[in-house]
Amino acid sequence: MSPTFQLPPQAAARIRAFYDHWDRLRGGRECPSRGDFDPAAVPEFLEYISLVDVSPETPRFVYRLVGTGVVRLLGKELTGQPVGTGVKASEIDKVLERYQNVAATMVPLYHRDYLQEENNDFTEVERLMLPLSEDGQSVNMILVFVWPRPAR
């Protein structure tokens, strides 16, 4: 098994609930497959979910689908676009490093930060990146849940 992952105590209840759902789906495996994830089972989360394809080719990470809530936050539709599209140039390496880390380790990643988009660098979000694997050996998709923090 990969290193143990734990959400921090201050993670939003929605983040924790989404992680718990993913954790149940994996059933003792490193991570579940895309086929294990039924969107109809979690309708309350769908607008803040993105699904990212992981490929050995360049671009390595491409948005397969982007929920409507994420589109609103980013100010644009990114389905079919490489991860990093619309991100401030100074932040692209950091963004891609997160995806690379999840793909390489099969370990979820949680972080809380302000969006780093050209159109929105003022909304604070919590982001949970969850690996998916068809073969149990390598990550072929990353399931991302982005939850906007209440404005201060």
* pLDDT, tens digit (0-9, with 9 covering 90-100), for 98-129: 999 999 999 999 999 877 777 777 888 999 99
CB 99 within 8 A of CB 61: yes
Strand, helix or coil at 61?
strand
Is 22 inside a domain boundary? yes
Domain assignment present for 8 = no
**In-domain check, residue 143:** yes
30 inside domain: yes
pLDDT, tens digit, 9 for 90 and up, residues 24-68: 999 889 999 999 999 999 999 999 999 999 998 888 999 999 999
Q: Is residue 2 part of a domain?
A: no
Alpha-carbon distance 117 to 11, whole Å?
22
Q: How far apart are the first and last CA of the chain?
A: 39
* CATH number (domain holding residue 129): 3.30.450.20
**CA-closest candidate to residue 61, choices 33, 92, 28, 30:** 92
Predicted confidence at residue 132, as pLDDT, reads: 97
Q: Which residues, listed in sequence order, are joined to residue 50 by a DSSP beta bridge?
A: 66, 144
Q: Evaluate whether residue 3 is within a structural domain.
A: no
* Domain extent for 65: 13-148
Number of domains observed in the structure of the chain: 1
The answer to the question of residue 7 being in a domain is no
Do 134 and 123 form a contact (C-beta atoms < 8 A)? no
Predicted structure pTM score = 0.93
Whether the predicted pLDDT of 2 surpasses 60: no
pLDDT value, residue 1:
44
**pLDDT of 25:** 96
The predicted structure's pLDDT at residue 120: 73
Residue 74 lies in a domain: yes
Strand order in the sheet with 141-148: 61-66, 49-54, 141-148, 124-132, 109-114
Instruction: Provide CB contacts within 8 A for 56, sequence distance 6+.
Output: none
